[in-house]
């Protein structure tokens, strides 16, 4: 569904990505793990068109998306849950969700998806008229995911969804990621919480200073000694 | 001051304030989205009056039609300034785009002097605006009533667009977080163009009402009302639309009442507005309705 070939990115003089290759097959959960500054966020932002690549190609549904801007990629179903949630704090929860559905005109479909999102996140439905900025951190993360779902993603890119959440909420978020995936949405997940990410992932890549150093099925990497030592705390 | 004169001053204040409010909207909307003080906004206001003037004088259009044509042309001019002078600088440091705005302002002023000549033109207003309503001992001119009324209609229409439509939602999302708005498939360039169009259209309405009230137009006429409206926008909390409206009304009212209560100070009217600006910047730089958004990270 997504294929990244020899991707290089320069970021203000820094060679942030040094020719990475990876693939996200349809219907799967793929994860990129790695330490801070390894280039995980840069990878996602480049896929969304928020950062310009200096070399390489990105194929989405077998098309080179080089000429499409962020908006067109979103319209095409390539949707991101950005790092740090980035919900709109001065807009209501409902308005945030409506922005997720901004590209759509199918009123009935939007209603149906709102219902689905309320089922996934009942707490959001209780807070529809509240300003996004008044939600707790966990609720904001739920809103960010819900908002992305309103964009009808075919491939959902998630940048550190568990960051800053209490352990119980982290578990909840990963359950929801699996639930979304089981409904047919492909997921590319970026995480520092390597253990949780590897557990849900069908396939995983380990990124270190702009290069992919290890790859393999999620459960295999969980047993990999190198991964264990560097990312799973022994 | 007798009650009658006081009431009359209130009406005058409302009328002037509504014009400031109309112009202040353009500053505050553009600031909200681009963090740019659009110094050319006063010139957009000036162009609105000239478009109307020429529509009536040269093309002999009926008043209502010239009014619409002038608003549309001004809106297009506003969009063009953004397209030509601001958009190419969007990724440049903020100071570049600010200097560009000052450049556009000088350019339009001087182009106005070359094209329209620097000699003030008298703005013949339709007779309906010369009428006086007499309520007891209070005399209210029809132009003051009409300008207040028309302004309020446009301001309400604006609030509807900003808070109830999809375009308005796009504007509000861009003003908070342009990058995330892009991720929501909001068409940022188009929305910014629409913002300039709306701000400029309202400036045209303000300019035309201004010219009907003080029937003389000249290429530099935008400077002082522009600055005053900018003060109104800061007073209300720049970036905040309702704030700009309130700021406009407060400033208009304060100016008129100052002159009403202390006629000997009437020469200091403009200075008074700037004193308000300085006081606001010193004591409440966020303005009356300043941002109170809490951001959680």
In a domain? residue A101? no
Beta-carbon contacts of residue A139 (< 8 Å; ≥ 6 apart): A123, A124, A127
What confidence tier does B125 reach under pLDDT thresholds 50, 70, 90? confident
Kindly tell me if the per-residue pLDDT of B31 is higher than 90. yes
The rounded distance, in Å, linking the Cα atoms of B121 and B10 is 29
Query: CA of A107, closest CA in chain B: separation in Å?
Result: 13
Stretch among B197-206, B227-236, B270-279 having the lowest mean pLDDT: B270-279
Give helix B241-261 / helix B269-283 axis angle, nearest 10°: 130
Give helix B188-213 / helix B142-164 axis angle, nearest 10°: 170
Q: What is the pLDDT of residue A234?
A: 60
Tokens 């568990």, residue located: A162
Stretch among A42-46, A156-160, B57-61, B173-177 having the lowest mean pLDDT: B57-61
List C-alpha distances in Å: A182 to A104, A185, A194.
23, 7, 21
Length of chain A, in residues: 234
Q: What is the pLDDT of residue A231?
A: 81
Chain A CB within 8 Å of residue B180 CB: yes
In a domain? residue A113? no
In a domain? residue A17? yes
What confidence tier does B124 reach under pLDDT thresholds 50, 70, 90? confident
A123-168 pLDDT, tens digit each? 999 999 999 999 999 999 999 999 999 999 999 999 999 988 999 9
Return the residue of B nearest to A50 by Cα. Answer: B179
Q: What is the pLDDT of residue A101?
A: 96
- Which of A70, A73, A100, A129 to substitute to test the interface with B, most B CBs within 10 Å? A70
CATH code assigned at A221: 3.40.50.300
Q: Is residue B48 within 8 Å of residue B71, measured between CB atoms?
A: yes
Q: What is the pLDDT of residue B294?
A: 38
87-146 in chain A: CB under 8 A from chain B = 88-91, 95, 98-100, 102-103, 131, 133-137, 140
Report the SS3 class of residue A183. coil
In a domain? residue A104? no
Q: Is residue B220 within 8 Å of residue B53, measured between CB atoms?
A: no
Chain A CB within 8 Å of residue B170 CB: yes
A204-233 pLDDT, tens digit each? 999 999 999 999 999 999 999 888 888 877
The rounded distance, in Å, linking the Cα atoms of B239 and B57 is 37
Q: What is the pLDDT of residue A47?
A: 96
Q: What is the pLDDT of residue B58?
A: 87
Q: Is residue B259 within 8 Å of residue B269, measured between CB atoms?
A: yes
Q: What is the pLDDT of residue B1?
A: 67
A81-137 pLDDT, tens digit each? 999 999 999 999 999 999 999 999 999 999 999 999 999 999 999 999 999 999 999
B209-236 pLDDT, tens digit each? 999 999 899 999 999 999 999 999 999 9
The rounded distance, in Å, linking the Cα atoms of A97 and A110 is 10
- Which of A85, A99, A152 to substitute to test the interface with B, most B CBs within 10 Å? A99
Give helix B166-176 / helix B188-213 axis angle, nearest 10°: 100
Q: Is residue B280 within 8 Å of residue B235, measured between CB atoms?
A: yes
3-state SS, B166-200, equals: HHHHHHHHHHHCHHHHHHCCCCHHHHHHHHHHHHH
Q: Which domains occur in chain B, in start order?
A: 3-283 (1.10.3470)
Q: What is the pLDDT of residue B295?
A: 36
Chain A CB within 8 Å of residue B181 CB: yes
Q: What is the pLDDT of residue B8?
A: 87
Tokens 């959960």, residue located: A29
Q: How many structural domains does chain A have? A: 1
The rounded distance, in Å, linking the Cα atoms of B247 and B280 is 11
The rounded distance, in Å, linking the Cα atoms of B284 and B271 is 19
Enumerate the residues of chain A whose CB falls inside 8 A of the CB of residue B179. 50, 82, 86
Chain A CB within 8 Å of residue B297 CB: yes
Report the SS3 class of residue A79. strand
In a domain? residue A20? yes
Q: Is residue A143 within 8 Å of residue A87, measured between CB atoms?
A: yes
Stretch among A89-103, B49-63, B155-169 having the lowest mean pLDDT: B49-63
In a domain? residue A217? yes
The rounded distance, in Å, linking the Cα atoms of A7 and B109 is 50
Structure tokens at B148: 């207040």
Tokens 């959440």, residue located: A165
Q: Which domain holds residue A73?
A: 2-85+153-231
Report the SS3 class of residue A151. coil
The rounded distance, in Å, linking the Cα atoms of B201 and B212 is 17
Q: What is the DSSP string of A16-60?
A: EEEEEEEEE-TT-EEEEE--TTSSHHHHHHHHHTSS--SEEEEEE
Return the residue of A nearest to B291 by Cα. Answer: A90
Please give the residue that has the higher pLDDT: either B44 or B269. Answer: B44
Which of A2, A155, A153 is CA-nearest to residue A64? A2
Q: What is the pLDDT of residue B296?
A: 34
Determine whether B138 is exposed, middle or buried from the number of CB atoms within 10 Å of its CB (0-12, 13-18, 19+): middle
Residue A206 DSSP one-character state: E
Q: What is the mean pLDDT of chain B?
A: 92
List C-alpha distances in Å: A109 to A112, A113, A122, B14, B182.
5, 6, 19, 47, 22
Query: CA of B231, closest CA in chain A: separation in Å?
Result: 24
The rounded distance, in Å, linking the Cα atoms of B290 and A160 is 32
Which of A183, A28, A173, A61 is CA-nearest to residue A112? A183
In a domain? residue A147? no
Kindly tell me if the per-residue pLDDT of B292 is higher than 50. no
In a domain? residue A60? yes
Q: What is the ipTM of this complex?
A: 0.91
């Amino acid at each position: 569904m997504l294929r990244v070939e020899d991707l290089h990115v320069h970021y203000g003089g820094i060679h942030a990505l040094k020719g990475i290759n990876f693939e996200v097959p349809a219907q799967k959960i793929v994860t990129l793990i790695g330490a801070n500054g390894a280039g995980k966020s840069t990878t996602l932002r480049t896929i969304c068109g928020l950062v310009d690549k200096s070399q390489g190609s990105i194929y989405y549904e077998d098309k080179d998306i080089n000429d499409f801007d962020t908006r067109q990629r979103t319209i095409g179903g390539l949707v991101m849950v950005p790092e740090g949630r980035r919900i709109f704090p001065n807009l209501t929860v409902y308005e945030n969700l409506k922005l997720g559905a901004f590209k759509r005109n199918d009123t009935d479909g939007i209603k149906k998806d709102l219902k689905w999102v309320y089922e996934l996140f009942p707490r959001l439905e209780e807070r529809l008229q509240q300003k996004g900025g008044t939600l707790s951190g966990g609720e904001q993360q739920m809103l960010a995911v819900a908002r992305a779902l309103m964009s009808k993603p075919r491939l959902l890119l998630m940048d550190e969804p568990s960051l800053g959440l209490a352990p119980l909420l982290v578990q909840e978020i990963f359950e929801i990621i699996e639930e979304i995936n089981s409904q047919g949405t492909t997921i590319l997940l970026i995480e520092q919480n390597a253990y949780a990410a590897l557990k849900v992932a069908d396939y995983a890549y380990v990124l270190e200073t702009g290069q992919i150093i290890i790859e393999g099925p999620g459960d295999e990497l969980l047993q990999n000694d190198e991964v264990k030592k560097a990312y799973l705390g022994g | 001051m007798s009650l009658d004169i006081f009431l009359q001053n209130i009406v005058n204040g409302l009328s002037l304030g509504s014009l400031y409010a109309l112009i202040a909207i353009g500053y505050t909307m553009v600031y909200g989205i681009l963090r740019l003080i659009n110094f050319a906004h006063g010139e957009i206001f000036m162009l609105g009056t000239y478009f109307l003037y020429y529509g009536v004088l040269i093309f002999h259009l009926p008043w209502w039609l010239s009014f619409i044509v002038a608003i549309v042309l001004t809106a297009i001019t506003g969009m063009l300034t953004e397209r030509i002078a601001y958009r190419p600088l969007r990724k440049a440091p903020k100071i570049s785009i600010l200097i560009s705005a000052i450049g556009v302002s000088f350019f339009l002023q001087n182009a106005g002097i070359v094209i329209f000549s620097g000699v003030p033109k008298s703005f013949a207003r339709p007779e309906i605006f010369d009428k006086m309503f007499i309520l007891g001992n209070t005399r209210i001119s029809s132009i003051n009533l009409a300008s207040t009324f028309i302004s309020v209609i446009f301001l309400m229409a604006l609030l509807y667009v900003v808070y109830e439509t999809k375009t308005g939602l796009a504007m509000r999302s861009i003003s908070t977080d342009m990058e995330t708005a892009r991720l929501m498939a909001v068409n940022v360039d188009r929305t910014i163009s629409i913002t300039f169009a709306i701000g400029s259209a309202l400036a045209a309405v303000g300019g035309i009402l201004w010219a009907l009230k003080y029937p003389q137009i000249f290429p530099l006429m935008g400077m002082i009302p522009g600055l005053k409206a900018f003060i109104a926008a800061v007073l209300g909390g720049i970036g905040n639309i309702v704030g700009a409206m309130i700021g406009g009304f407060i400033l208009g009212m304060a100016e008129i009442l100052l002159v009403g209560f202390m006629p000997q100070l009437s020469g200091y009217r403009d200075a008074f507005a700037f004193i308000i600006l300085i006081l606001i910047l010193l004591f409440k730089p966020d303005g009356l309705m300043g941002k109170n958004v809490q951001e959680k990270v």
